[in-house]
């Protein structure tokens, strides 16, 4: 999905996509990743306790490059460390192309009305197929089989929609085709 953002951005396509929520369990009174502010000029993160977490290394996980930010000494002296992490220090991971993702996120927040319109046009398709038709999981296994199965369901959806739009007027539909 992240690669799709980059491809669209590189090809000049304007993306309006909501930012995915960070995963994992979160404790109630703990500092979340969103509370750490990235400073572009200094290339560091500012923690909620106003300490700088500087760039330390590049880490590769699942084929993606992440920039790792931390501050050993600040975390050792911090009185709020228990709210932040259970280890000796807090690591913040930043994906290498996070700048482009931030631009997409800002654009989406700035154009909420356009994003809602996109949702109403696109998202109902998946809701209809999943909840109305009861298609909650694929019957096949392996990527190419699942791709075929999903393509057939979308083809059926589109065909049914065309029939609903033209009200069963097959002669009119054939004339257009």
For 56-85, write each residue's pLDDT tens digit: 999 998 888 999 999 998 888 888 888 888
> Where among 105, 133, 162 does a domain terminate?
105
Final residue in a domain of this structure, among 105, 120, 145 = 105
Which domain-ending residue is among 105, 139, 165?
105
pLDDT of residue 86: 82
Do 71 and 154 reside in the same domain of the chain?
Answer: no
With 0-12 / 13-18 / 19 or more C-beta atoms within 10 angstroms meaning exposed / middle / buried, residue 97 is middle
Residues in CB range of 30: below 8 A, 6 or more apart: 83, 84
How many independent structural domains does the chain possess?
2
69 with 124, same domain: the answer is: no
- Structural domain including 6 reads 2-105
Q: Is the pLDDT of residue 24 over 60?
A: no
Quick check: 28 pLDDT over 70? no
Are residues 100 and 116 part of one domain?
A: no
Same domain for 57 and 120, yes or no, is no
In sequence order, what are the beta bridge partners of 54? 44, 70
**Does 61 lie in the same domain as 120?**
no
In this prediction, residue 66 carries a pLDDT of 92
Same domain, 82 and 122: no
pLDDT in tens, 124-174: 788 888 888 888 888 889 999 999 998 998 898 888 887 777 776 767 667
Domain co-membership, 101 together with 116: no
In the block, tokens 């996980």 appear at 61
Query: What pLDDT does residue 168 have?
Result: 65
Say yes or no: 48 and 101 in one domain. yes
For the ranges 20-29, 48-57, 126-135, the lowest mean pLDDT is seen at: 20-29
Q: Are residues 12 and 37 in the same domain?
A: yes
Predicted TM-score (pTM) of this structure: 0.60
Same domain, 77 and 150: no
Residues 71 and 156 in one domain: no
**Residue range 99-137, pLDDT digits in tens:** 878 888 888 889 888 888 877 777 778 888 888 888 888
Pair (167, 135) in one structural domain = yes
Distance CA 96, CA 23 (A): 19
Of 10 and 177, the structure prediction assigns the larger pLDDT to: 10
% of the chain surpassing 90 pLDDT: 18
In this predicted structure, the answer to whether residue 27 has a pLDDT above a threshold of 70 is: no
């Amino acid at each position: 999905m992240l690669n799709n953002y980059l491809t669209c951005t590189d090809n000049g396509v304007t993306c309006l996509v909501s930012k995915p929520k960070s995963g994992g369990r979160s404790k109630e009174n703990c500092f979340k990743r969103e509370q750490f502010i990235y400073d572009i000029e200094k290339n560091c993160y500012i923690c909620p306790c106003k300490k700088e977490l500087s760039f330390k290394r590049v880490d590769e996980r699942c084929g993606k490059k992440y920039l790792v930010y931390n501050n050993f000494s600040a975390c050792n002296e911090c009185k709020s460390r228990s709210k932040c992490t259970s280890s000796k220090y807090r690591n913040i991971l930043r994906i290498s192309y996070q700048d482009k993702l931030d631009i997409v996120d800002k654009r989406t927040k700035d154009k909420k009305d356009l994003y809602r319109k996109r949702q109403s046009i696109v998202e109902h398709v998946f809701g209809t197929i999943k909840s109305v038709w009861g298609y909650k999981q694929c019957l096949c296994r392996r990527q190419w089989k699942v791709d075929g199965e999903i393509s057939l369901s979308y083809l059926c959806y589109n065909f049914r929609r065309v029939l609903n739009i033209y009200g069963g007027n097959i002669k009119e539909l054939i004339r257009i085709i």
